[in-house]
Amino acid sequence: MKTIGKTAIMFPGQGSQYLGMGQGFLSTSSAACDLLTEAESISGLPLARLCSKGPEEELTRTLRLQPALTAINLICWQAVKRAGLIKADFFVGHSLGEYAALAAAGALSFADTIGLVTLRGRLMEREATANPGAMAAVLKLDIAAVEAVLKTASIHGRLTVANHNSARQVVISGDSSALTVAANLVREKGGKAIPLKVSGAWHSALISGAIPDFSRAMASIPVNSPQVPLLFNVTAAPESDPDEIRAIMTRQIATTVRWYAIIERLLAENVRCFIEVGPKTVLSGLAKQIIPPDYDCTILQVDSPETLATIS
């Protein structure tokens, strides 16, 4: 595929899953099946059944979903690579999707990627059980207004910005009582607060207890400098030092996903083609919200042989 400017590959995170994800590639490619079989062996989970048949409540449990979605993201990327139609200039991933980005950029092996997200899912679920919380998507308010709301509501409990997704889409996370107060303040300011169906207060202090165990695991994993620049959730900037990458990915568990800043950085780098690789079109939709109408670019999504055919 010929593009004017650079190409960024975007990998989605939790919330993009659906029953049947990846089945188009799995039904037509032995290489795709081999990756899923390897992921099953590493995770010890029935990923093929979960992805194809569920049940949905089993698939969406964090400890199962993280290896399942990561495997499907990388199966989709494998298909894109094998098609040989694009050259990636940047990799990015939203929250969990950052692990697929690390693998695609050559920073992690497939096996270590699946092992890490399996552990990450287990640790995050453990902490969410010990420290229950909630999340809400705040619409129509900018980040400064949301941060002001959190400052006021935080006297009722721990609160943080979990995802800065676009100029006027911010996800907040923390103690349920404080989140209720924050939601009321959002409405008073003319915004909208939508409760999210999640099993934990992701990217908040409530799950920071997962960090020590995850840090120890990361310390033993070989990490390479990315072969292609990767913009990290924590910093919205590239990083090549393996030790710093380990530290960033450990912090990522309980730190804000700076997605809006990542897309703005990609625009500053003259990225003109954005390809979401993995289930659904969540990141494509966010890109359309962020990118100015007069900015000439192409936004595509690939999660099946049919959508792969649109890249030409």
Question: Considering only CA atoms, which of 178, 181, 169 is closest in space to residue 143?
Answer: 169
Pairing outcome for strands 169-174 and 159-166: antiparallel
Q: Are 236 and 263 in contact (CB under 8 A)?
A: no
Which SS3 state, helix, strand or coil, does residue 115 take?
Answer: helix
203 among known catalytic residues: yes
* Known active-site residue 284: no
Answer whether 140's CB lies under 8 Å from 174's CB: no
CA angle 111, 98, 288 (to 5 degrees): 140
Tokens of residue 308, six digits:
């792969």
Q: Which one of 164, 203, 204, 304 is the catalytic residue?
A: 203
Alpha carbons 48 and 54: distance in angstroms, whole number: 9
Spatial distance between the Cα atoms of 282 and 120, rounded to a whole number of angstroms = 22
Exactly one of 16, 43, 94, 95 is catalytic; name it.
95
Residues that are catalytic = 95, 203
